[in-house]
Structure 1
Amino acid sequence: MTASDLSVDGVTLTAGARRLVHDVSLTARPGEVIGLVGPNGSGKSSLLRAVYRVLRPAAGRVRVDGADAWSVPVRQLARTVAAVVQDSGTEVDLAVSEVVAMGRTPHKRLLSGDTPEDTELIESALTAVDATGLADRPFDRLSGGERQRVLIARALAQQPSLLVLDEPTNHLDIRHQLEILGVLRGLPATVLVALHDLNLAAYYCDRLYVLRDGEVTASGTPADVLTPRMLAEVYGVASEVAVHPRTGTPQVTFLPGEPVPAVPAGVDHPVS
């Protein structure tokens, strides 16, 4: 597993007459963990779909290692990019180990069986997400959290150089949220991940892009981006942000019931 370079250049996405994302640009350098944050409906999932080639841009380009992701053959791209999506609709009558083995498909010839290397990668992926004990269980009888871990294992078995994840901590308990994000943080791959939990994003991501109404409203390190001003303007909440004394990363504390501070007109958030 290596790491890819991702460049999203001026991407606009539409659905009929509705604009989902407008003129969004971002970069992910090899080995970085890049977080997408923003309210519901801000365009995070749509942007990810353009990267893993489900939603074609109406304008702009997505480049992986310099190549237009929409011009590369699908099978070739699948050797580089893996995705874990929300509501994947994966309802299959397969054992967990067979679902994870599907991640090896882009690297194999049609109808070829698993090699010893495939088996090792499948077992390693299951171990990484604490799902070894689920290997023989029917996938369609798992809980939501168990399914999520298995789908992440499938993506890990794919050995991508760019891993794209849409809310990978959904359905997971706190322990598994931390373990999964720790695994992603330790990969020798580039990671683009949408997250709702801002404190998790602050701890595990190198840089953040804040989306609102389909546009990037701020970007930079978590310390640059996660400010009470940004949270008031983008999320409409009052908050305090401090540096945690042990982790050294920003920690957001929301202040329910307190008035949302006014944001001065004409003041921009950092975009880098």
Structure 2
Amino acid sequence: MTATELVIDGVTLTAGTHRLVQDVSLTARPGEVIGLVGPNGSGKSSLLRAVYRVLRPTAGRVSVDGADAWSLPVRQLARTVAAVVQEAGVDFDLTVREVVAMGRTPHKRLLDGDTPRDADLIRSALAAVDATDLAHRPFDRLSGGERQRVLIARALAQQPSLLVLDEPTNHLDIRHQLDVLGTLRRLPATVLVALHDLNLAAYYCDRLYVLRDGEVTASGPPADVLTPRLLAEVYGVTGEVAIHPRTGAPQVTFLPGAPLPTAQAEADPSVP
């Protein structure tokens, strides 16, 4: 697994007459973990769909190592990009191991069986998400959190150079949220991940892109992006941001009550 560069250049996405994303540009350099954050409906999932080729841009370009992602052969793209999406109600009449083994499909010819290397990668992917003991269980009988971990393992088994994930911590307990994001952080791959939890995003991501109403409203290192003013303007909430003394990452504390009006916040020197 090696890292690739992703460039989203001026991408606009529409659904009928509705504009989902407007003129968004984003760069993920090889090996970076890039976080997409923003309120519900801000365009995060739509932008990810343009990367793993489900939603074609009406303007702009998605490039993978300089090549137009939408012009690459399907098999070549599948060897480069793996996606973990929000799949409500997904059912496979397969064991967990068989689901994870599907990640090896782009690297095989039709009717090829598992090689010893495939078997090793499948075992490693299951271990990475703490799912080794689930290997022989039916996928369709797992809990939501267990299914999520298995789908992440399938993507890991694919050995992509670019991993795209839409809310991968959904349904996971705290321990597995940390384990999964820690695994992504250690991968020798580029990662683009949409997250709702701003504290997880601040700790695990190199840079954040904040979407609001389909547009990028802020981008940069988490400490530069996550400010009380941004929380008020983008999320409509009051929050305090401090640097955690142990992790060195910004930590957001949300407070009850409406945020200060912008003019009042600008006059308050305690609000960065």
Is the pair's TM-score, using the shorter chain for normalization, greater than 0.5?
Answer: yes
Equivalent residue for 2:200? Answer: 200
Q: Give SS of 1:79's match.
A: helix
Q: Give SS of 1:231's match.
A: helix
Tell me by how many angstroms 1:263 deviates. Answer: 2.0
Q: Give SS of 1:164's match.
A: strand
Q: For residues 66-93 of structure 1, what are the alpha-carbon distances to aligned partners after superposition, in whole Å with 9 as ceiling and x for unaligned?
A: 0000000111100000000002543110
> Unaligned stretches of 5+ in structure 2?
267-272
Q: Which one-letter code corresponds to 1:198 in the other structure?
A: L
Write the distance in 1 (CA, Å) between the matches of 2:112 and 2:89: 26
Equivalent residue for 1:54? Answer: 54
Write the distance in 2 (CA, Å) between the matches of 1:250 and 1:71: 39
Q: For residues 5-35 of structure 1, what are the alpha-carbon distances to aligned partners after superposition, in whole Å with 9 as ceiling and x for unaligned?
A: 0000000000000000000000000000000
> How is 1:142-153 mapped onto 2 (pairs within 5 angstroms)?
142-153=142-153
The number of residue pairs the alignment matches comes to: 265
Equivalent residue for 2:222? Answer: 222
Q: Give SS of 1:86's match.
A: coil
Q: Aligned pair 1:79/2:88, yes or no?
A: no
Q: Aligned pair 1:262/2:261, yes or no?
A: yes
Equivalent residue for 2:135? Answer: 135
Write the distance in 1 (CA, Å) between the matches of 2:211 and 2:53: 20
Write the distance in 1 (CA, Å) between the matches of 2:12 and 2:150: 32
> How is 1:121-200 mapped onto 2 (pairs within 5 angstroms)?
121-200=121-200
Q: Give SS of 1:123's match.
A: helix
Write the distance in 1 (CA, Å) between the matches of 2:182 and 2:10: 31
Equivalent residue for 1:107? Answer: 107
Write the distance in 1 (CA, Å) between the matches of 2:263 and 2:211: 19
Q: Aligned pair 1:26/2:26, yes or no?
A: yes
Equivalent residue for 1:270? Answer: none
Write the distance in 1 (CA, Å) between the matches of 2:124 and 2:234: 40
Q: For residues 213-271 of structure 1, what are the alpha-carbon distances to aligned partners after superposition, in whole Å with 9 as ceiling and x for unaligned?
A: 000000000000000000000000001000001100000000012x3112249x9xxxx
Percent of aligned positions that are identical: 84
Write the distance in 2 (CA, Å) between the matches of 1:149 and 1:239: 31
Write the distance in 2 (CA, Å) between the matches of 1:262 and 1:32: 35
Write the distance in 2 (CA, Å) between the matches of 1:180 and 1:21: 28
Q: Give SS of 2:262's match.
A: coil
Q: Which one-letter code corresponds to 1:204 in the other structure?
A: Y
Equivalent residue for 2:93? Answer: 93
Q: Which one-letter code corresponds to 1:178 in the other structure?
A: L
Tell me by how many angstroms 1:48 deviates. Answer: 0.1
Write the distance in 2 (CA, Å) between the matches of 1:201 and 1:10: 24
Misfit runs of 4+, over 6 Å: none
Question: CA-atom RMSD, angstroms?
Answer: 1.1
Q: Which one-letter code corresponds to 1:108 in the other structure?
A: K
Equivalent residue for 2:68? Answer: 68
Write the distance in 2 (CA, Å) between the matches of 1:248 and 1:155: 30
After superposing the two structures, state which structure 1 stretch, 81-90 or 236-245, moved more.
81-90
> Unaligned stretches of 5+ in structure 1?
268-272
After superposing the two structures, state which structure 1 stretch, 89-98 or 158-167, moved more.
89-98
Equivalent residue for 2:269? Answer: none
Write the distance in 1 (CA, Å) between the matches of 2:63 and 2:45: 18
Tell me by how many angstroms 1:64 deviates. Answer: 0.3
Write the distance in 2 (CA, Å) between the matches of 1:19 and 1:222: 28
Equivalent residue for 1:246? Answer: 246
Q: For residues 107-163 of structure 1, what are the alpha-carbon distances to aligned partners after superposition, in whole Å with 9 as ceiling and x for unaligned?
A: 000010000000000000000000000000000000000000000000000000000
Equivalent residue for 2:270? Answer: none
